[in-house]
Structure 1
Amino acid sequence: MDTALAQAINTLAADKRSGAAYIATRAADVLLRRATTGEAASPDAFREELLATGWALIQAQSTMAALINLVNTVLWKIEQYDTPHELQQAVVEATDQFKRQLKDHALRVAEGTLPLITDGSTVVTLSQSSTVQHAIFHAQRAGRRFNVICAESRPANEGRETAATLAEHGIQVTFAVDTAAVAAVANADPFRGDNFVVLAGADMVTTKGLVNKVGTMALALAAKHSGVPMYTLCSSEKFLPPGYPMPQQRERASDSIWPEAPTGIELWNRYYDFTPLHQIAGIVTEQGVLPAAAIEAWLAVTKLHPALAKQALVPGY
């Protein structure tokens, strides 16, 4: 792998603030660059080099299913071709289609979210999800009047960027520390006239639950407690293909949460958590709002490419 590609992958690996859709778009550009620069010795060598680059991208952000689906899509696309030109063109088409699909599905998710953001409502969110932001802007353009509570989203504090972006677009925003945002949801009372809805993005959705920024589970529990509906906004690119093993979260550097901590204190720094699907009201996809049970049927038609399955050490391949 050349230096420029390695640097691009390292940059993606170091990005702890951007959402899955943005990361996947940049990853598609890296795969495209790999396919269209240099010349492989044979079609099989081309496939092996592309798989190696794709696997490096997946490992760079192992909890983002969109990267797994990107690589899976490209590997299936190049199966039927054997000449260098055909293989390169297949990657061009696959990556371009994947990026266009991400944008199109984000618009559809925004449209599906519109009925959930009503006049006078309070939208609670966290982290930095371009999908959630698209949905909020869509509601604003539709004339809905609402306000947003945005959690700071430690340890990277990317909630600040979300709050600033929303405020720049004229949306009334309250920026809250994480536990205060959870408390606001927990204390909401629909019978008192509180009109809250929690909207979260997702890095990965499985048949069991969703992986997203740490703090998502706490918001889900608070919402369940108070009867506030919570939805995850997630297009199908973020569904984990059946048979792919659930990625293990790596420990993060602890100096970002307490530099020079006293001896004897163990620091626990996580960026993501897992929220069971039964804790949320539904999943807003490009096909509308779906219950958790619909996800399993959707995933049943997704096939994991054997080369990717073998790379991930999936049993049965």
Structure 2
Amino acid sequence: MLGGDRVVEQTFTQAIAEIAADNRSGATQIAERAADILLQRASVGQAPSAEAFRREILLTGWALIHAQTVMAPLVNLVNTVMWRMEQGDSPRVLHQAVAHATEEFKRQLHQHALHVAEGTLGLIDEGSKIVTLSFSSTIQHALIHAQRAGRRIEVICAESLPGREGRETAQVLRSCGVNATLYDDAAALAAIEKANLVLVGVDMLTSTGLINKAGTEALARAARAAGVPFYTLCGSEKFLPPGFQLDRVEPAPANGSTRAALPNLSELPFDFTPLELLSGIVTEQGILPIAAIEAWLAATRLHPALSHYSAEAVY
């Protein structure tokens, strides 16, 4: 029996390690895999009580969050599951709660992507030249949707060093008939001057800005200087719930910004773009101004179990 338990734990350790090592997939893809892992944990767990069951799920959830510390969908996934388990009084009932929560979360990921793509269509005119970067399934869905809606567009994909994820984006778009060209990062920045629109994905949106692949902030500043609209495509699963604190944080800046709650980006291939550089945010509820996002974030409830980082959860 003990040997079987070790095999199970090794399986989860390996699955979470693979998520931690994945530096190419977007936040939405990672979140889908994480939802499956949580459901598997609920299905094979041997917890003798509801309290022990919740603890198993919470520790696995924390391990997933720790695996990709800048991906807010993981926080929202675990937050959703923890709230759904509040009322259960037995492992069997809680297993059903986890199954329903993870299934609903995955369904919403796909629904949000469709609604965001539809909302983005209003930003894209016939003949638009659009600059983007890195790999984002949300961006790809939106641009392919525009192409299928009859918009003839030209897309410039920044290569996005060091991972060069922009190469895959260009390939995906071209395979769907979109006129997409791969540029090196410097050339993509220069191309903004003659572009009509800059669109980027996001891994985490907070009340002060967005975290996305390195190069996003430079695109935003170049767009601001050139007077080109800059939008991020962001389903609400990428909003970081207020009150959530990560174990690795930046020192508080002198200007008193709340950015101290963010991960230490100096060690990661991501950067931070202040909200004031954005023209707007395309969500599943349409194109929203910054003030609306701040109100949305303020209404989000963080489960108490996620208010403090759990060091026990590192697999």
Moved over 2 A (4+): 249-252, 310-313
| Aligned residue in 2 for 1:114 | 121
| Aligned residue in 2 for 1:191 | none
Q: Deviations over 1:19-71 (max 9, x none)?
A: 10000000000000000113102111111111100000000000000000000
| Aligned residue in 2 for 1:304 | 302
CA distance in structure 1 between the aligned counterparts of 2:298 and 2:265, rounded to whole angstroms: 28
Q: Does residue 179 in structure 1 map to residue 189 in structure 2?
A: no
| Aligned residue in 1 for 2:207 | 207
| Aligned residue in 1 for 2:198 | 198
In the alignment, structure 2 segments of 5+ residues that lack a partner are 1-7, 246-260
CA distance in structure 1 between the aligned counterparts of 2:135 and 2:305, rounded to whole angstroms: 33
Read off the aligned partner of 2:309 and give its amino acid letter.
Answer: Q
Read off the aligned partner of 2:155 and give its amino acid letter.
Answer: V
Given candidates 40, 49, 61, the residue that maps to 1:54 is 61
| Aligned residue in 1 for 2:263 | 248
Question: How does the TM-score come out when normalised to structure 1?
Answer: 0.89
Sort the Cα spacing of 1:118 and 1:312 in 2 relative to 1 into closer, same or farther, 3 A: farther
Q: Does residue 43 in structure 1 map to residue 50 in structure 2?
A: yes
What is the count of residue pairs matched by the alignment? 289
Given candidates 148, 155, 168, the residue that maps to 1:161 is 168
Given candidates 56, 71, 74, the residue that maps to 1:67 is 74
Question: How does the TM-score come out when normalised to structure 2?
Answer: 0.89
CA distance in structure 2 between the aligned counterparts of 1:96 and 1:122, rounded to whole angstroms: 37
In the alignment, structure 1 segments of 5+ residues that lack a partner are 189-194, 253-269
| Aligned residue in 2 for 1:265 | none
CA distance in structure 2 between the aligned counterparts of 1:2 and 1:234, rounded to whole angstroms: 34
The Cα shift of 1:247 comes to 3.6
> What secondary structure, in the 3-state scheme, does the structure 2 residue paired with 1:135 have?
helix
The Cα shift of 1:295 comes to 1.0
Contact 1:63–1:249 under 8 Å retained in 2: no
RMSD over equivalenced CA pairs, Å: 1.3
The Cα shift of 1:249 comes to 3.0
Identity %: 60
CA distance in structure 2 between the aligned counterparts of 1:273 and 1:222, rounded to whole angstroms: 15
The Cα shift of 1:165 comes to 0.8
> What secondary structure, in the 3-state scheme, does the structure 2 residue paired with 1:5 have?
helix
Q: Does residue 293 in structure 1 map to residue 308 in structure 2?
A: no
CA distance in structure 1 between the aligned counterparts of 2:141 and 2:104, rounded to whole angstroms: 20
CA distance in structure 2 between the aligned counterparts of 1:250 and 1:178, rounded to whole angstroms: 19
